[in-house]
Chain A
Amino acid sequence: MYNSKYVISGLVIFLAVFSYPFWGNLASKDYTGPKLSLPTDQKQCIEPVEFMRSQHMTLLNQWRDSALREGKRVYVASNGATWDASLQKTCMSCHTNKAEFCDTCHLENAVEPYCWTCHVPPKGNE
């Protein structure tokens, strides 16, 4: 092969750079999710944590339609507890720290919800 010296060393460099995400990640630390400041006085969210983590926007959409269109403003959770279907009155009364609860996760995931252009975050966190 002509210029095998250059070709082979070039190939090796290319493979090293190309596969960097794989071996680079093997060497680095495990990814840890952002640390959220959870309410101190509440242990139980309205639904199980896993559900809230993945489905909170679905739930809020349902709350909105139920409250505004049907006038049904009380949510009956899967464990039977009842909640005011309101982002401001229910969610934000426990999660009083918007900056360290909502924002940390949304920043990490590059999600920019515009809830706060209308809904009022709890005082002291603006």
Chain B
Amino acid sequence: MKRSRRQFLKVASLSVAGLGAQLAAGGMTKAAAAVKPSYKEDALALKAKRWAMVIDTREFTSKEDFDACINACNTAHNIPHIPGKTEIKWIWKDAYEHTFTDTTNKYQSKEIEDREYFMLCNHCENPPCVRVCPTQATYKLESGIVAMDYHRCIGCRFCMAGCPFGARSFNFTDPRPYIKEVNPKFPTRMIGVVEKCNFCVERLDAGKLPACVEAAQGKIHFGDLSDPESEVRKLLEENFTLRRKPSLGTEPGVFYII
């Protein structure tokens, strides 16, 4: 049987229409079955326009004072204990001349020079690490916290080069074997990512203060820098404070009462 072009086109168009209808119907049932997600904040979440930390360095006199905070942070965040140059640091202590490199007075208080000072990520207002990160694995939250998304970190270490405070550590090895007791409430990190202090954003979101602040028992204060009534602003008014490397203009969110 010979078919005319007209007949062929009729059959072809009908079958295409039929196929299209079927696909559309399938698509619609799929869309109906799809789940509409919605997310909200924890009702207890602590809020601030600009989180800041004030460390009362006068109060940190013994090794135990420092260790309490460091251990609290380590256990909360599964920070491994790797000896040597490949160590992972979120919060650590160092000498005066390493902490406040800008002050160059040769003849100053011996007591202040001999003190040790906590160092941690400064959660800068103008974070160089965020500017140089090519994958946006590190980013600034609205609350001023410089956060890390380890899912996105490709381990290029631009952020480590960018950070003038040495606050970032690179995982040269799998950190898991170096964690004494793994806290199942917080992930560990993997080989090849850069990590750092996150101002305990996961605790703030659940209504708790940072682990080191809690462990310091009043020696470290935490609050909203944008609120003139807040505890940190009152402390800044009443005491002489320093920030690290102010000349760089990164505007750190960590203040030291001297």
**Chain A partners chain B:** yes
B106 within 8 A of A: no
Contacts A50-B33, A64-B151, A71-B141 given; indicate if A120 touches B187 (C-beta within 8 A): yes
B39 with A88: CB separation less than 8 A: no
- A62: CB under 8 A from chain B? yes
- B139 beta carbon closer than 8 Å to chain A: yes
**Interface of chain A residues 85 through 126 with chain B (CB within 8 A):** 85, 88-89, 92, 114, 117-120, 122-123
Q: Report which of A68, A73, A82, A88 forms a contact with B185, defined as CB distance below 8 A.
A: A88
The complex places the Cα of A55 from the Cα of B150 at a distance, in Å, of: 22
B:189-215 near A, CB below 8 Å:
189-191, 201-202, 205-206
B238 interface residue (CB < 8 Å to A): no
- A59 CB within 8 Å of chain B: yes
Given contacts A50-B33, A78-B35, A88-B184, contact A71 B190 (CB under 8 A): no
- The answer to whether B150 and A71 touch across the interface, beta carbons within 8 angstroms, is no
Number of A-B contacts defined by CB within 8 Å? 79
> B36 in the interface, Cβ–Cβ < 8 Å?
yes
Size class of the B contact interface (CB-based, 8 Å): 20 to 34
- What is the predominant secondary structure among interface residues of chain A facing chain B? mixed
* Contact A73 B147, beta carbon cutoff 8 Å: no
Residues on A with C-beta less than 8 A from B37 are 59, 62, 75-76
Listed A/B pairs (24) with beta-carbon separation below 8 Å:
A47-B35, A48-B33, A50-B33, A62-B37, A64-B149, A64-B151, A69-B141, A70-B39, A71-B45, A72-B39, A73-B41, A73-B42, A73-B202, A74-B39, A74-B40, A75-B37, A76-B38, A77-B35, A89-B185, A117-B190, A118-B150, A120-B78, A120-B182, A120-B184
Q: Which chain B residues have a beta carbon within 8 Å of chain A's beta carbons?
A: 33-42, 45, 78, 139, 141, 143, 147, 149-151, 174, 182-191, 201-202, 205-206
